[in-house]
Copies of this chain bind each other. A is one copy, B any other.
Amino acid sequence: MAEALRVGIAGLGTVGASVVRLLARQENALAARCGRGVRVTAVSSRDRTRDRGFDLNRYTWFDDPVALAGSDEVDCVVELIGGADGPAKATVERAIATGKHVVTANKALLARHGLALARAAEQKGVALAFEASAAGGIPVVKTLREALAGNTITRIYGILNGTCNYILSRMETDGLSFAECLRDAQRLGYAEADPTFDVGGFDTAHKLAILTSLAFGTELDAEAIYIEGISSIAPIDIKMADELGYRIKLLGVAERTKTGIEQRVHPTMVPKSSAIAQVMGVTNAVTIDADAVRELTLVGPGAGGDATASAVISDIADVASGAVGAPFGRPVDRLDKPQRAPMQRHEGGYYVRLTAFDRPGTAATIVTRMAEADISLESIVQHRSEAAASRDPAGRSGTPVPVVLITYATTEAAIRMAVDKVIADGAVAEPPQVIRIERE
């Protein structure tokens, strides 16, 4: 049997500690699987004193992860520090420069520097593996890079952030507001004290950038992603979605359209009967549309120490087995330049909720503005509250009431134009809510 692969772990937070424990637990199985042992030899972390449930003295300790990356005692560096720059980047760069394989869960680093790092890894003939970066424990990177090699992928979309899916699920099941659900998510440890990165859609965008490159064989293009978070979603949107046969999910979507590659992150109406709509709570899911396989959906844990460690170990096992492919599925200079599809040209159905003044002519104004923009309406729903109706049976008070429109497929530009005109008409009391509908 070949010599054991010596693994150095930079970052001993929840995921790093899980990796150490699981590697020990799976020692024999991994040796059988990989044809050689896999052994942690060195670790680095900010805090040496914290009890992680294992004996740190078994490993060489480095205060500086970059020194660990350069050490002769390590064949494979596992970067679990996090952050797009700083020590994480320095650690990965040093590991590659000194001829070590790299496994990382760092989506921010990859979204920003993935291409340069992949080029460096290629030149050195080392692995840059990142299964854990895109959807935690769901093996979507391997699926895109290897399992779907015979396919042309047309679209990939998914629930890539457990925090957002937890909040949207709770809003639906318990009829609570966004703020209430966010507080619960924070109490349960599903959301950070500053939740912007998750609820603003930025975490989803980082992951989407990686998946887009793998799916379409294009260079990473994180800056091209259109991003909207979930904080504007109101209980009435959840309720109206339900009434209309939809559920609201924060999706990351990458699609090859006739104008180019569209990458977008936003709250999305998905049919209640779709597979993705069934995914509730912190669970993640990814659906891939492709020519040969038609539709493939993977559902599993998007975060958590052990689930993320599972993905990290999958990469380590590949390295130990000698599977060192191109990080993004093909050599960097064979990745296509991504042609960006402008968001204004996005095509699809829309949910538009207007808080309209309840007075004669308002409905006509709204419908006319839609017609002028060539938008066909599939349905219009207007519920006056009973209280409002009894106060003002003739509907002449001008009290704001919600009016919900569902459009047939149209363009982002058309919707924006129509909505802007309705606002200019003075027909609405609040900025309209616009939510895109994703077809199955």
Which residues of A does B touch, CB under 8 Å? 18, 22-23, 25-26, 29-30, 32-35, 131, 137-139, 142-143, 145-152, 217, 275, 278, 290-301, 304, 306-307, 309-314, 316-318, 321-323, 325-326, 329-331, 334
Residues in B neighbouring A317, C-beta threshold 8 A = 146, 149-150
A292 touches B321 (CB 8 A): no
B292→A22 contact, CB < 8 A: yes
Which residues of B have CB within 8 Å of A142? 142-143, 146-147
- Contact yes or no, A314 B22, CB < 8 A: no
> Given A26-B149, A33-B149, are A293 and B298 also a contact pair (CB < 8 Å)?
no
Copies in the complex: 2
| CB nearest to A290 among chain B residues | B310
Given contacts A138-B296, A296-B138, contact A152 B25 (CB under 8 A): yes
| CB of A27 to closest CB in B, whole Å | 11
Which among B29, B137, B330, B331 is the interface contact of A296 at CB below 8 angstroms? Answer: B137
A4 to B306, CA, bound (A): 40
What is the bound-complex CA distance between A323 and B323, given in angstroms?
A: 6
Q: Name the B residues within 8 Å of A291 (CB-CB).
A: 306
CA distance A300 to B146 in the complex (A): 16
Q: Contacts A18-B292, A292-B310 given; indicate if A139 touches B149 (C-beta within 8 A).
A: no
- Determine whether the beta carbon of B149 is less than 8 Å from that of A29: yes
User: CA A307 – CA B34 in complex, angstroms?
Assistant: 29
Asked, given contacts A292-B306, A292-B309, A300-B295, whether A22 binds B325 with beta carbons under 8 Å apart, the answer is: no
Would you mind naming 9 contact pairs between A and B with Cβ atoms under 8 Å apart? A22-B151, A32-B331, A149-B314, A150-B313, A150-B314, A294-B304, A294-B306, A296-B298, A298-B299
User: In the complex, which residues of chain B have a beta carbon less than 8 angstroms from the beta carbon of A25?
Assistant: 152
Q: Who on chain B is nearest to A313 by CB?
A: B150
- In the complex the two chains form, is B139's CB within 8 Å of A326's CB? no
CA distance A102 to B142 in the complex (A): 21
Let me know if B299 and A275 touch, CB within 8 A.
yes
Known pairs A275-B299, A291-B306 / 5 extra A-B pairs, C-beta < 8 Å? A33-B326, A138-B296, A139-B147, A294-B301, A296-B299
Contact: A150 with B330, CB < 8 Å?
Answer: no
Query: Across the interface, which residues of B come within 8 angstroms of A35, CB to CB?
Result: 326, 331
Q: Are A310 and B298 in contact (CB under 8 A)?
A: no
Q: Quick one: closest B residue to A141, CB to CB? A: B147
Residue of B nearest to A19 (CB): B150
